[in-house]
Amino acid sequence: MEVAQVSEKNKQQEEEKKDQEAPNEEELTEEDVEILDPEDVEEDELEEESGSREAELQKEIEEWKNRALRAQADLENVRRRAKAEKEEDAKYRVQPLAEELLPVMDNFERAMQTQPDNESVQSFIDGMAMVYNQFRTALEQQGVEEIPAQGEYFDPTIHQAVMQADEEGFESNQIVEEMQKGYRLKDRVLRPSMVKVNN
């Protein structure tokens, strides 16, 4: 009889323990409990992650596009500059040679101004004139030409005034005399004309 009472007490104690551990069903309602679907949770997280990753990738793409455009523009500038330099080199390639030949042309002109006293000297001067004309023609074919001076108005970009004069028949700032010929190569002055200018 005593053993049966003890086992009944034990059962009652165990049931009480279970009641205490188990949540009170009356206290919890459906409104209090939010049922989460594991798939929904994962999808939301994935959408957030993929959205931020997509924005990062888009930003990176724009950055690379800008770099590519800048590189292309730089390359185009280098090509344009190289082409312009090549054209300029071709245009003025004879400049060093022409500058070396100008004193030779001056000496030819001085020699041809001498007055011959016999026929042999005259034929020698005629031969020099032929060589001088060949030189001048060759230089003209390369774009080297004389700068007009005598009777022109003084232009400091192509003339160099070495003397001033008060000559009748000439206007103010007009060139009275050319002391040394000037030359230009296309649009570039190789040597300005040395001139005497009227006041």
What are 26-75's pLDDT values in tens digits? 555 555 555 555 555 566 666 777 778 888 999 999 999 999 999 999 99
H helix and E strand count, the chain: 4, 6
The Cβ of residue 84 has, within 10 Å, a number of other Cβ atoms equal to 10
Structure-model confidence comparison of residues 20 and 101, the more confident one: 101
Whole-model pTM?
0.58
Q: pLDDT for 153-169, tens place per residue?
A: 999 999 999 999 998 88
115 near 138, Cβ under 8 Å?
A: no
| Burial 43-80, CB ≥16 within 10 A → b, else e | eeeeeeeeeeeeeeeeeeeeeeeeeeeeeeeeeeeeee
Over residues 142-147, the mean pLDDT reads: 94
pLDDT for residue 27:
53
